[in-house]
Amino acid sequence: MRVSYNWLKDYVDITVSPQELADRLTLAGLTVDTVEELGAGLENIVTGCILKIERHPNADKLVVCTVDVGQEEPLQIVTGATNVREGHKVPSALEGAKLAKGLQIKRSKLRGVESRGMLCSGQELGMEAKLMSAEMASGILILPDEVPVGLDAREVLGLNDFVLELDLTPNRGDALCLIGVARDVAAILKTELKVPAPKFDESGEKAEDLAKVDILDADLCRRYVARIIKGVQMGPSPMWLQNRLRAAGIRPISNIVDVTNYVMLELGQPLHAFDYNALKNHHIIVRRAQDQEKIVSLDGVERLLNPDMLAITDENGPVAVAGVMGGLDSEVTENTVDVLIEAAYFHPINIRRTSKALGLRSESSLRFEKGIDINGCRRAADRAVELIQQLAGGTIASGAVDNFPAPITEKTIQLRFARVQWVLGIDISREEIVNILERLQFRVQANAEDLLVTVPAFRPDITREIDLIEEVARLYGYNQIPDTLPFGASTQGARTADQELTWDAKRVMTTCGFQEVVTYSFVHPRVFDLMNLPADSRFRKAVRLQNPLSEEQSVMRTVLVPNLLEVLQRNHNRRAQGGAVFEVGRVFYPVEGQPLPEEVPVLAAVALGSTPKTWNQPSRPLDFFFIKGVAEQLLDTLGLVGAEFNRHQDPSFHPGRCAKIEIQGELLGVLGELHPNVVENYELPGRVMALKIDLQVLAGYPRPVKQYRSLLKFPAVERDLAVLVKQEVAVAHMLTIIQKAGGDLLRSVEIFDLYQGSQVPEGFKSVAFSMKFQAEDRTLTDQEVADKMQRIARSLSAQTGAELRK
């Protein structure tokens, strides 16, 4: 919100500088980001009148102007502008003048002809091109004929002003206007607020006889006021009005349109001007739009409406999108003679949704969606017709068509005196509280214990007692409330169980050489094809976004691996060889009958290239056993007991190099080498290993509490065991059998050799295990260890058919 300092002084007597005012507004909760001096750096620029224009003797594109600047003698100024004529009033920079961007004017010769100044365009005076017409932006700035010569051009163009740029919080919609800001300024400075009271002459015609307004959907339009003024003369606005609009960041258009914008900035009530004679039977109908109904808006774009949007229509169809933008067919033009002014109250949420759906945001929708003063509609309409009559002439029909189906009653809130003191922690008197609220135009009724505060309609954000306390605090001064140490019971911060699980999982993955990445939750639907997923895969049932930024991010991800493959692909395209990345994120599954999807936390990792070379281990290509080792390390660190790795078929993985992780029959994750087709789809070289684990399933199993005990003082006995077993027997199953048969004396078992070749019968494999036995209370005898070894061998033979290798 841009607030003109000079304009603000129309409503309140300001005795402080713009910067001090900005500081005091900020302390009162209306944050001022910047204070801009519009004419900063401009010097010695006056208004002049072009008396004579002659051709330049030595240049076809230059002319020589004789300009009256209010001095004893006219000045000779050479210019290349093509839009100047004799009699034009123009801003003229004299010798020694300073323009925008530090340009300084000196007496000079242009192609042999002396020039004693410069005729200025708007941009040379620091005015924004977007706030001026195309002619004004590119050529010399032409001033109104009634402007006297010799005046300071900064004053004539409103550049002797400061603009306060306010950064308002969403609840302060009342401050989106000059009166709203002035109300706070008056309260801060403890002075009087001066609100203009409209004064105008009305004709004998009654507005109710000239127009009709029907509200068919009163839940979306709670009030609609229409005023009519006939016989207007369209034209440009006077300079003072144009200057104020530009200071607020709005480009002047015409006197009628400029008045509607001026009143909106002044009172906070958006208005719209219809060409009265373009409305069929002068009948306004406020209703929900019909499905697929169309309207061409003022910007010339055809827009498709739906029943969730509110339309302003006549008997032929839509003439405006309520609260957002008017229609092209009913706009006021240079041929308009009669005008109907609309001032209405529209439902804030509906306006916000309509504006977002149409991709159309306007100054009007900004104010409607934050909530306006429903009691201010008539006042704003009256103010508009008053200014139109002053600037464009015409006769105002008496009265207004005011359709107000359900007038509101102002809220009354109980404010406890003791509660104010307790919340703010200050000793503030009852009289001061009452004074602060009354300065903000709240009506206060006091009794013995508390206050009854009536909230005006222009403050819809005040709904509770604590809101009133905040108003007291900001006017009392946050800087006057003393600092105090917090008190009360405190708790030590700690991670939740899920946070600990995620933290430990990330630590393990980074220890294993993976780098963490964070990718978008939105993906392209084609990733399901790239991952070889069949048509009936549950992962293809993704949540589609209603308003995606692009097709590249149009659905919510159901799998995380494709995002990581895109990271590898992007790195590879930038000559980064290999890589291992992981992400802990959420995938989203739609839930039948529920508006929101199910969010499941997962861990996914992919790796490409070779293992790092160390002092005792050479580098080798990544394979299935590498990613399986990462998974085992992860589960071991997280304390998960009983997980099993079994063969698995997954369309995204290599058919012979894929395993699933199960615990108590429940699927925990999948790992292995990705299918060659998937790797080819992502244009990656070599083999890619991948891992995905469902953290929600993992979190469902208790993590054992770590217990520490002293090292055993009795020696350990190590034994090796090699057996022949059929190829289809899983080694993981054999390890489980060994651990169970070895009992408490078996401290560890590891596989150290797996052989298939000419010395092993066809269809069999040789597996060798290294085992360590140790007791807590004694040194084990050879016989005890031998008995355990025989028991292990018998168990393997009975359950897997394994035979000792000789």
Looking at the fold, whether 661 and 760 belong to one and the same domain comes out as no
- Could you give the angle at which helices 255-267 and 377-392 cross, rounded to 10 degrees? 140
Same domain, 184 and 221: no
- Domain match, 796 and 670 both: no
Q: Determine contact, residues 375/200, Cβ cutoff 8 Å.
A: no
How high is the pLDDT of residue 643? Answer: 86
Q: Which residue type sits at 81?
A: A
What is the pLDDT at residue 384?
A: 96
Domain end point (choices 373, 403, 433): 403
Distance CA(268)–CA(233), nearest Å, equals 26
Contact residues for 151 (Cβ-Cβ < 8 A; gap 6+)? 46, 47, 70
The pLDDT confidence band at residue 660, using thresholds 50, 70 and 90, is very high
Q: Is 530 helix (H, G, I), strand (E, B) or coil?
A: helix
How many angstroms separate the CA atoms of 78 and 699, rounded? Answer: 82
Q: DSSP state, 290?
A: P
CA-CA distance, 399 to 226, in Å (whole number)?
Answer: 9
Q: What is the CATH number of the domain that holds 98?
A: 2.40.50.140
**Residue 334 pLDDT class (50, 70, 90 cuts):** very high
Question: Chain-wide mean pLDDT for the chain?
Answer: 92
What is the 3 state secondary structure string of 58-88? CCCCCEEEEEECCCCCCEEEEECCCCCCCCC
> DSSP for 659-672?
EEEEETTEEEEEEE
- Domain match, 432 and 298 both: no
Full domain range(s) for residue 504: 497-699
394 in a structural domain: yes
CB-hemisphere CA count at 13 Å for 264?
27
Question: Are 474 and 512 in a shared domain?
Answer: no
Number of H helices, E strands in the chain: 22, 39
Identify the pLDDT of residue 681. Answer: 95
Classify residue 297: in a domain, yes or no: yes
* Residue 542 belongs to some domain of the structure: yes
**268-325, pLDDT tens digit by residue?**
999 999 999 999 999 999 999 999 999 999 989 999 999 999 999 999 999 999 999 9
pLDDT (0 to 100) of residue 730 = 85
Quick one: average pLDDT of 531-555? 91
Please indicate, yes or no, if residue 707 is contained in any of the structural domains. no
Domain count, the chain: 6
Mapped to the 3 state alphabet, what secondary structure does 689-757 carry?
EEEEEEHHHHHCCCCCCCCCCCCCCCCCEEEEEEEEEECCCCHHHHHHHHHHHHHHHEEEEEEEEEECC
Residues 141 and 143: their CA atoms lie apart, in Å, by 6
> Residue 615 has what pLDDT?
53
CB of 337 closer than 8 Å to CB of 393: no
CATH number at residue 251: 3.50.40.10
Q: Give the 3-state DSSP-derived string for 569-616, with helices as H, strands as E and coil as C.
A: HHHHHCCCCCEEEEEEEEEEECCCCCCCCEEEEEEEEEEECECCCCCC
Judge if 168 and 129 occupy the same domain. no
Point out the least confidently predicted range of 120-134, 215-229, 542-556, 627-641: 120-134
Look at strands 43-55 and 63-68 and give their pairing: antiparallel
pLDDT at site 497 = 87
312 shares a domain with 270: yes
Whether 644 and 545 share a structural domain: yes
Mean local confidence (pLDDT), 375-401: 95
Give the residue from 403, 429, 448 where a domain finishes: 403
Q: Burial-class residue 259 by CB neighbours within 10 Å (0-12, 13-18, 19+).
A: buried
Dump pLDDT digits (tens) for 90-104: 999 999 999 988 889
DSSP 527: H
Whichever domain contains 541, its CATH number is 3.30.930.10
- In a shared domain, residues 763 and 650: no
User: Is 704 inside any structural domain?
Assistant: no
Q: Residues comprising the binding site?
A: 461, 467, 470-471
In sequence order, the 6+-apart residues with CB closer than 8 A to the CB of 384 are 227, 259, 260, 263, 271, 341, 343
> Token pair 């149409």 is at which residue?
358
Q: Do 679 and 761 belong together in one domain? A: no
Which CATH number do you get for residue 418?
Answer: 3.30.56.10
What is the pLDDT, as a whole number, of residue 488?
79
In whole angstroms, what is the distance from residue 7 CA to residue 2 CA? 11
CA dist 629 and 108 (Å) reads 83
Q: Is residue 18 part of a domain?
A: yes
In a domain, 218, yes or no: yes
| Contact by Cβ (8 Å): 330, 342 | no
In this structure, what token pair is assigned to residue 82?
């093509």
Of 386, 403, 420, which one is at a domain's C-terminal end? 403
Q: How confident is the model at residue 206 (pLDDT cuts 50, 70, 90)?
A: very high
> Pick the residue with more confidence: 623 or 133?
623
Extract the annotated binding site for Mg(2+): 461, 467, 470-471
Domain assignment present for 197:
no
Sign of CA dihedral 584, 585, 590, 596: positive
SS3 label, residue 412: strand
- pLDDT score of 297: 92
352 in the same domain as 328: yes
Closest to 437 measured CA to CA, from 462, 406, 418, 460: 462
- Cβ-count burial of 446 within 10 angstroms (0-12 exposed, 13-18 middle, 19+ buried)? middle
pLDDT over 70 (residue 369): yes
Which pair of tokens denotes residue 28?
Answer: 């009162």
The model's pTM is 0.68
Tell whether 242 and 310 lie within a shared domain: yes
Other CB atoms within 10 A of residue 784 CB: 15
Residues 721-778: pLDDT tens digits?
999 999 888 888 899 899 999 999 999 999 999 998 888 888 899 999 999 999 989 9
